[in-house]
Amino acid sequence: MHGWRKNSLHPSEFAASLNKIGVNYKIAYSVSLALRYIPDIQRDFHSISQSQQARGVDISRNEKLSKRIKNISAIIFPLILSSLDRIEVISNAMELRGFGKNKKRSWYSEKKATKKDIITIVVAVIIFLVSLWVTYQNGGRFYNPFL
């Protein structure tokens, strides 16, 4: 778990927590993968952008908007292609390991819910319920001083 700060939640632990509260493990794992690869995609974007700028592609505000959009496409298309390659490798690995074969799965890293977690969930539910109540008061409108 190198690279993760002490007080942050690792994507695998987040996926396990989502699964524990009833989210399908396939969806939870998809969220985990998305969170895990955001830094990689950012790094790829930065390196592709630097490569294109070294070739003379200008994406700064000095260029006209239409030219900038065209120049950004020189970064976006290689980024999409590299992401698709990564997706293919990951999906092949998941398929070879039998992901999705069973209805349930075990998790390598799991965190127990603490009192703070339960309090946070209860407060969030209360805020949500109050916002629904406020929304449906007075014909479904919030207070508008101009009416």
Neighbours of 92 (CB within 10 A): 10
Closest residue by Cα to residue 73 from 93, 48, 100: 48
Residues 26 and 100 sit within 8 Å (Cβ to Cβ): yes
User: Whole-angstrom Cα distance, residue 41 to residue 70?
Assistant: 20
Q: Which residue did the predictor score with more confidence, 49 or 139?
A: 49
The reply to whether the predicted model has a pTM over 0.75 is no
* Cα angle 115-14-124, degrees, rounded to a multiple of 5: 50
Average pLDDT over residues 98-124: 77
pLDDT of residue 80: 92
- Among 4-18, 22-36, 52-66, the minimum mean pLDDT is found in 4-18
Angle at 14 between CA 10 and CA 18, to 5 degrees: 170
- List the alpha helices (DSSP H) in 23-64: 25-54
Here the tokens at position 135 are: 């929304």
Eight-state DSSP code of residue 139: G
Summarize pLDDT for 56-88 with one digit per residue, the tens. Answer: 888 777 878 888 888 888 889 999 999 899 889
pLDDT given at position 140: 62
